[in-house]
């Protein structure tokens, strides 16, 4: 008997319950959030931007952020730093001309990415050093020194 043609009991409709076969069939048809199937039946991400994975740690004077940006040219990276946040944006260009049907596995991400991180402490947005080596982007941001004092002599004019 076809599951779609089977009439549900009053109790089933009232409680929203369903038989195991119906539940299995319904689960198969639920789309996974953020994914869609292309013509080959492969799952693809629908999101326009990937969120970068990062490591953030501190030294006594700096906050250090590290992320992998392999395959991205430095001119394709944009860093925006405020006193309490940092945003990294970029784009990884795919330069290959391979037909979709020739892929067996396609896991590398090509396209836009970004990440905004709330920093654990206030920083000096002008005191930043960003370097990339072997695909690892390291951003060193100087912390605001709240203990720093300056004595100023008053001049008579």
Q: What pLDDT was estimated at residue 155? A: 85
Q: What pLDDT was estimated at residue 20? A: 57
Q: Where are the domains of the chain?
A: 10-43, 48-143
Determine the 3-state secondary structure of 136 from DSSP. strand
Q: What pLDDT was estimated at residue 46? A: 52
Q: What pLDDT was estimated at residue 103? A: 87
Prediction pTM value: 0.61
Sheet holding 111-118, edge to edge: 49-51, 111-118, 85-92, 77-81
Q: What pLDDT was estimated at residue 6? A: 59
How far is the C-alpha of 123 from the C-alpha of 104, rounded, in Å? 46
Contacting residues for 56 by C-beta, under 8 A, at least 6 apart: 63, 64, 65, 66, 117, 119, 120
Q: What pLDDT was estimated at residue 33? A: 47
Spell out the CATH class of 48-143: mainly beta
Q: What pLDDT was estimated at residue 15? A: 61
Q: What pLDDT was estimated at residue 93? A: 83
Q: What pLDDT was estimated at residue 98? A: 84
Q: What pLDDT was estimated at residue 42? A: 47
Q: State which residues of the chain have pLDDT below 70.
A: 1-47
């Amino acid at each position: 008997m076809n599951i779609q043609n089977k009439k549900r009991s009053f109790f089933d409709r009232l409680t929203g319950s369903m038989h195991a076969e119906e539940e299995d069939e319904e689960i198969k048809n639920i789309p996974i959030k953020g994914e869609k199937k292309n013509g080959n039946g492969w799952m693809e991400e629908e999101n326009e931007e990937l969120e970068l994975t990062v490591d953030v740690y501190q030294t006594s004077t700096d906050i250090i952020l590290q992320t992998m940006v392999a395959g991205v040219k430095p001119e394709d990276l944009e860093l925006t730093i405020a006193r309490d946040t940092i945003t990294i944006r970029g784009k990884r260009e795919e330069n290959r001309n391979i037909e979709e049907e020739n892929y067996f596995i396609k896991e590398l991400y090509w396209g836009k990415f970004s990440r905004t991180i709330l920093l654990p402490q206030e920083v000096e947005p002008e005191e930043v050093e960003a370097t990339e080596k072997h695909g690892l982007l390291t951003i060193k941001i100087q912390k605001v020194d709240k203990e720093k004092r300056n004595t100023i002599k008053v001049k008579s004019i």
